[in-house]
Structure 1
Amino acid sequence: MSSSPILFVRNVARCFGGTVVLEDMNLMIERGSIHALVGESGAGKSTPTKMLAG
Protein backbone atom coordinates (compact mmCIF):
# COMPACT_ATOMS: atom_id res chain seq x y z
CA MET A 1 0.00 0.00 0.00
CA SER A 2 1.25 3.45 -0.79
CA SER A 3 -1.50 5.66 0.65
CA SER A 4 -0.83 8.20 3.35
CA PRO A 5 -0.92 6.81 6.90
CA ILE A 6 -4.03 7.19 9.06
CA LEU A 7 -1.84 6.81 12.15
CA PHE A 8 1.80 7.82 12.43
CA VAL A 9 3.70 7.69 15.74
CA ARG A 10 7.38 8.53 16.09
CA ASN A 11 9.81 8.17 19.02
CA VAL A 12 7.15 7.77 21.72
CA ALA A 13 8.25 6.90 25.26
CA ARG A 14 6.45 6.15 28.54
CA CYS A 15 7.74 6.08 32.11
CA PHE A 16 6.08 5.00 35.34
CA GLY A 17 7.88 6.69 38.20
CA GLY A 18 11.53 6.46 37.23
CA THR A 19 11.13 3.27 35.20
CA VAL A 20 11.11 3.49 31.40
CA VAL A 21 8.56 0.95 30.15
CA LEU A 22 8.38 2.04 26.51
CA GLU A 23 11.11 3.75 24.51
CA ASP A 24 11.38 4.86 20.87
CA MET A 25 8.06 3.38 19.73
CA ASN A 26 7.47 3.99 16.03
CA LEU A 27 4.29 2.96 14.25
CA MET A 28 2.70 3.68 10.89
CA ILE A 29 -0.70 2.28 9.94
CA GLU A 30 -2.11 2.80 6.48
CA ARG A 31 -5.80 2.76 5.58
CA GLY A 32 -7.05 -0.76 4.87
CA SER A 33 -4.18 -2.52 6.64
CA ILE A 34 -4.66 -4.96 9.52
CA HIS A 35 -2.35 -5.03 12.54
CA ALA A 36 -2.20 -6.94 15.82
CA LEU A 37 -0.31 -6.37 19.05
CA VAL A 38 0.65 -9.81 20.33
CA GLY A 39 2.47 -10.88 23.48
CA GLU A 40 2.29 -12.82 26.71
CA SER A 41 0.28 -11.66 29.70
CA GLY A 42 2.09 -8.77 31.38
CA ALA A 43 4.27 -8.06 28.34
CA GLY A 44 2.97 -4.48 28.00
CA LYS A 45 0.42 -4.61 25.21
CA SER A 46 -2.07 -2.33 26.95
CA THR A 47 0.42 0.50 27.61
CA PRO A 48 0.88 1.58 23.96
CA THR A 49 -2.78 0.85 23.23
CA LYS A 50 -3.93 3.18 26.01
CA MET A 51 -1.42 5.82 24.92
CA LEU A 52 -2.74 5.78 21.36
CA ALA A 53 -6.34 5.96 22.62
CA GLY A 54 -5.49 9.05 24.67
Structure 2
Amino acid sequence: MKLDIRQVIGGLFLLYGVILIAVGLIGGEAPNLWTGAAMAVFGGAFLAWARLKRI
Protein backbone atom coordinates (compact mmCIF):
# COMPACT_ATOMS: atom_id res chain seq x y z
CA MET A 1 0.00 0.00 0.00
CA LYS A 2 1.30 3.46 -0.85
CA LEU A 3 2.29 5.88 1.86
CA ASP A 4 -0.02 8.86 1.86
CA ILE A 5 1.63 12.25 2.51
CA ARG A 6 -1.23 13.08 4.88
CA GLN A 7 -0.02 10.32 7.19
CA VAL A 8 3.48 11.81 7.32
CA ILE A 9 2.25 15.37 7.88
CA GLY A 10 -0.33 14.28 10.45
CA GLY A 11 2.14 12.12 12.32
CA LEU A 12 4.74 14.87 12.53
CA PHE A 13 2.24 17.49 13.67
CA LEU A 14 0.88 15.07 16.27
CA LEU A 15 4.38 14.19 17.52
CA TYR A 16 5.50 17.82 17.76
CA GLY A 17 2.21 18.77 19.37
CA VAL A 18 2.62 16.13 22.08
CA ILE A 19 6.19 17.31 22.70
CA LEU A 20 5.04 20.92 23.04
CA ILE A 21 2.23 19.90 25.38
CA ALA A 22 4.75 18.09 27.58
CA VAL A 23 7.09 21.10 27.57
CA GLY A 24 4.19 23.40 28.38
CA LEU A 25 3.06 21.23 31.29
CA ILE A 26 6.55 20.74 32.72
CA GLY A 27 7.83 24.26 32.08
CA GLY A 28 4.60 26.01 32.91
CA GLU A 29 4.59 28.13 29.77
CA ALA A 30 1.09 28.61 28.40
CA PRO A 31 2.04 29.42 24.76
CA ASN A 32 3.75 26.04 24.39
CA LEU A 33 0.73 24.28 25.85
CA TRP A 34 -1.79 26.00 23.57
CA THR A 35 0.37 25.70 20.46
CA GLY A 36 0.98 22.03 21.20
CA ALA A 37 -2.73 21.39 21.67
CA ALA A 38 -3.53 23.07 18.36
CA MET A 39 -0.81 21.10 16.57
CA ALA A 40 -2.01 17.82 18.10
CA VAL A 41 -5.59 18.48 16.99
CA PHE A 42 -4.40 19.45 13.50
CA GLY A 43 -2.25 16.32 13.25
CA GLY A 44 -5.08 14.11 14.47
CA ALA A 45 -7.39 15.65 11.89
CA PHE A 46 -4.88 14.90 9.13
CA LEU A 47 -4.54 11.28 10.27
CA ALA A 48 -8.32 10.88 10.47
CA TRP A 49 -8.67 12.40 7.01
CA ALA A 50 -6.10 9.97 5.58
CA ARG A 51 -7.82 7.01 7.22
CA LEU A 52 -11.33 8.02 6.11
CA LYS A 53 -10.25 8.65 2.51
CA ARG A 54 -8.60 5.21 2.33
CA ILE A 55 -11.85 3.37 3.07
Q: Could you say which TM-score interval applies, normalised by the shorter chain? A: under 0.3
Return the structure number with greater helix share: 2
Return the structure number with greater strand share: 1
The TM-score normalised by the length of structure 2 is 0.27
The TM-score normalised by the length of structure 1 is 0.27
Higher relative contact order, structure no. (Cα contacts within 8 Å, ≥ 6 residues apart): 2
